[in-house]
Amino acid sequence: MSHPSSSSLPLTDEVQALLQTQRFGQTLRGYSSLDSTNTAAMRWASEGAPEGSVVFAEYQTEGRGRQGRTWEAEAGQNLMFSTVLRPSLPPPRLNLITLAAGVATAEAIEAFTKPLTNAIKWPNDVLLEGLKCCGMLLESTLAGPDQATVILGIGLNVNQRAFPPELEDLATSLMLQTGRLIPRAALMADLIGRLERYYDTLSEDDGATVRQAYTDRLHGLGQSTTLHLTEQEKPVTGVVLGITDTGALRLDTDEGTRTFHAGEIRYANS
């Protein structure tokens, strides 16, 4: 398989000049077009990319979202990047990485969109004024007997001006909500810095800091929601109680408190 060539992009050069991280983003590959940043990051990881290496693309031809969905975004307007991680976490706690990324992204967005409000919709969508502006995809593989290699992909709608008709009532961008262009390099550098800090806390306090920050931003906490599982399973309705130590969703249902590790939630008023 041939690998697309990477080159220094003006945006990635600016990001690296702004970074104040120890590891994350210090090794960065930028592409004008790529099949998928997650795919490229996984290839790079298999070749020995150090932890914190980042792959960025101005455009993806085969961008992926959760549950097999595609992720489409206008070229040159958004932030689409993947980070190589080699966490020393037990497999059940790898999902905490997604929570850490959600909190880091929400905080970074807030710094550029105040006084607008954002929230995190379980498990990994960031909402701005109730509409989705960011999604994430975590993919992992065992690189050795115990060491997992994890690729964290983030797709953030920054300066996109329009969405397909089927997404207009669901998705938004930072520019559409604020009415102004957002400096992408500054936003990306800020996000990567926050991501490194929250990621490092996972091994320092077993995820307590991340879980608290995530719960503080959890969309629909205390509200009734319907959780859609697989097509073969009946949806589950209950009140959102919060998350478990591993980031699973806790619902108060007619059958008592139940825990779910996957699914898509839809609120009664949405």
pLDDT value of position 67: 44
Work out whether the CA dihedral 6, 79, 122, 51 comes out positive or negative.
positive
pLDDT at 66 over 50: no
Contact 59, 75 (CB under 8 A): yes
Span(s) in the chain for CATH 2.30.30: 224-267
Residue 203 CB contacts under 8 Å (≥ 6 apart), including other chains = 87, 88, 89
Q: How confident is the model at residue 65 (pLDDT cuts 50, 70, 90)?
A: very low
Mean pLDDT of 1-26: 81
CATH of 224-267, one of 3.30.2010, 2.30.30, 3.30.70, 1.10.10: 2.30.30
pLDDT at 143 over 50: yes
Per-residue tokens: 5: 């060539």
pLDDT at 17 over 70: yes
Q: Give percent of the chain above pLDDT 90.
A: 76
pLDDT in tens, 145-173: 557 899 999 999 999 999 888 888 899 99
**Radius of gyration over every alpha carbon of the chain, rounded to an integer in angstroms:** 18
DSSP one-letter string for 137-181 = EEEEEE-SSSPEEEEEEEEE--S-----GGGTTTB--HHHHHSS-
pLDDT at 73 over 80: no
H or E element: which one contains 132?
Answer: strand 131-142
pLDDT value of position 268: 61
Span(s) in the chain for CATH 3.30.930.10: 10-216
pLDDT at 71 over 80: no
Residue in 153, 151, 135 with CA at minimum distance from that of residue 94:
151
Residue in 180, 188, 154 with CA at minimum distance from that of residue 14:
188
pLDDT in tens, 216-242: 999 999 999 999 987 778 999 999 999
pLDDT in tens, 24-61: 999 999 999 999 999 999 999 999 999 999 999 999 98
CATH class of 10-216: alpha beta
Burial degree of 264 (CB within 10 A; 0-12, 13-18, 19+): middle
